[in-house]
Amino acid sequence: MVTPEKRAALAERMDCLGIREGDLEESFVRGSGKGGQKVNKTNNCVCLRHVPTGIVVKCHREREREVNRFLARRALCDEVDHRLNGTLSARQMEIARERKRKSNRMRKRIRIQCRKGIDTGSENES
């Protein structure tokens, strides 16, 4: 179940990106994969197409159609943001932050290993 706060935040983000509900073509297809009869017999996979840009998003992460509709709209917002803003998009900024975190961790690990190597090297000489 999607909370009203999350729905409001998504609607605000869609407005900021210039995505209107009228510009979206939504269709539902049969799902597949885990979930058994409930998934295989119901049309809960959401195909969302943004007509002005031609971006198509397909979402079948959850068993409920409403949740998949929400997730498809969120994925569409991410993709439109990426195409409009490029490296300044929210997704790219998050990727850059993660890269920086990993490089900092690696530098710290190397520094610690070097210190341990120096400490153990001096003990062997005495």
Domains in the chain and their CATH numbers?
Answer: 4-88 (3.30.160.20)
- Given phi > 0 = left and psi -120 to 50 = alpha, else beta, which region is 56? beta
Two tokens, residue 25: 């073509």
- Of the listed ranges 5-9, 36-40, 84-88, the least confidently predicted one is 36-40
- Residue 35: per-residue pLDDT: 74
Q: What Cα–Cα distance (Å) separates residue 100 from each residue in 48, 90, 94, 95?
A: 34, 15, 10, 9
Query: Which secondary structure element, helix H or strand E, spans residue 25, and what is its range?
Result: strand 24-29
- Residue 30: per-residue pLDDT: 87
pLDDT digits (tens, 9 = 90+) for 57-85: 999 998 889 999 999 999 999 999 888 88
